[in-house]
Amino acid sequence: MIKLENVTKYFKTGKGRKYILRDVSIELPGGKNIGILGRNGAGKSTTLRMLGGIEFPNSGRISADGTFSWPMAQSAGFIPNMSAKDNIKFVCRIHDKNEEETRAIIESVRAFAEIGDYFDMPMRTYSSGMKGRVNFGLSLAFDFDYLLIDETLATGDAVFKEKAKRALDEKISRCNILLVNHGLKVLQDMCDVGLMLHNGQLYYFDSIDEAIREYRKLNEKVA
């Protein structure tokens, strides 16, 4: 369960406040794969991070009874001057992993990412795709109640993408997801229910198909 109580989120701009959410109260059921829809610039990624407790509202309260991953995306919050190995060690310390668990996670991500010697080089030398592979593999190495997925499901060639898809499918069988993706077919295939973000409000639909229909109607109105 994820509960929002009178949540407001905005950013200050040269033209005043840009509202993402404006006094939103809503309760989302647990045990569901949730797709987040909205037009470009609506604030889907910000909303995803707030639902996962990574970013905070300006006012109001968000509570949840589960654990959340960091966003699985092309660009992760790694420390650029540290290697993938050292970044993973740092994350493991934050999550109270012991030495044996940390070694296992490092080797798991090393094998999954397939970036060779770059794994021990500073991440500032990585391409965005290489960072995405490490981030993806690291997310899969931890057990969370919810995976936060922001647009990118996998990166790389066709063989790697297929491997990543299999790994993600296996992971999702043991947890749920919060997914932002412009591909409506991806949302339809992976999600049970939907959230639509529009004009600072969140609208919940108890089926992803209904959410997609309403999103298409919205696009027709503003086209």
State CA 172 to chain mean position distance. Answer: 13
- C-beta neighbour count of 95 within 10 angstroms: 11
d(CA 34, CA 101): 30
Do 2-67+180-222 and 76-146+153-175 share a fold? yes
Question: Where along the chain do its domains lie?
Answer: 2-67+180-222, 76-146+153-175
Instruction: Give, as one character, the DSSP assignment of residue 29.
Output: P
pLDDT tens for 13-53 read 999 999 999 999 999 999 999 999 999 999 999 999 998 88
Cα–Cα distance between 121 and 42 in angstroms, integer?
A: 37
Domain 2-67+180-222, what architecture?
3-Layer(aba) Sandwich (3.40)
- Report DSSP state, residue 170: H
Name the class of domain 76-146+153-175.
alpha beta
**Reported pTM:** 0.84
Interatomic CA distance for residues 75 and 130, integer angstroms: 9
Residue showing tokens 């021990």: 120
Q: What is the pLDDT of residue 160?
A: 83
Q: What is the pLDDT of residue 37?
A: 96
Of 173, 206, 203, 215, nearest to 190 by C-alpha is: 173
What is the mean predicted confidence (pLDDT) over 123-133? 90
pLDDT tens string 192-208: 999 999 999 999 999 99
List CB contacts of 155: < 8 A, sequence separation 6 or more: 74, 128, 129, 132, 133, 136, 161, 164
Q: In this structure, are residues 21 and 7 in contact, taking their beta carbons and an 8 Å threshold? A: yes
- Rounded Cα distance, 223 and 220, in Å: 5
Mean pLDDT of 169-186: 91
